[in-house]
Amino acid sequence: MLNRVVLIGRLTREVDLRFTSNSIAVGTFTLAVNRNFQSKDGQREADFINCVIWRKSAENFANFTRKGSLVGVEGRIQTRNYENQQGQRVYVTEVVVDNFALLESRSVTEQRPVGDTSSTNMPNNYQSNSFDSNNSFNNNQSSDFSASSKSDQSFTDPFAGSDLIDISDDDLPF
């Protein structure tokens, strides 16, 4: 049996980081993920997917992201239930995140206001992102990516703006 989820989207709000009574960090957030098609009026619709992340990963995720941050997450779907104050059984389905990737540079993330709770429109410029068959995130947009977290040096995508890459059969290693 297989239960794996891979999502690329933007955070709809700051990560809600809390700690259990045993001091284990747990972060909850909602990810806005564009659908692959447009509605009749030409607008892209989005799904808002609830996610939860645990332990040190939750702390790191909360520290390095903000509302609107473009992220990729990998995990599993999990359903749980509880009884609310009115005595009704409530079912919750969410993605339990195992791994995440920050898909925009640190400088772009740091330009976002911290703790912004106003209702602003989410940027709608991430529909060209995909998860390729080699299990790596692929962003087809032209932007700067941080080369490593240790240095703030960035590089420019050499293939940005070109739709085709001219490679002959002799250039391929197989």
pLDDT of the chain, 174 residues: tens digit per residue: 999 999 999 999 999 999 999 989 999 999 999 988 888 888 888 999 999 999 999 999 999 888 889 999 999 999 999 999 999 999 999 999 999 999 887 777 777 666 644 434 444 433 333 333 333 334 433 333 333 333 344 556 555 665 555 666 666 665
Q: Which CATH superfamily is domain 5-36+44-161 in?
A: Nucleic acid-binding proteins (2.40.50.140)
What pLDDT is recorded for position 160? 61
Domain ranges for the chain, please list them: 5-36+44-161
Complete DSSP assignment for 24-83: -EEEEEEEEEEEEEE-TTSPEEEEEEEEEEEHHHHHHHHHH--TT-EEEEEEEEEEEEEE
Strand pairing report for 44-54 and 89-102: parallel
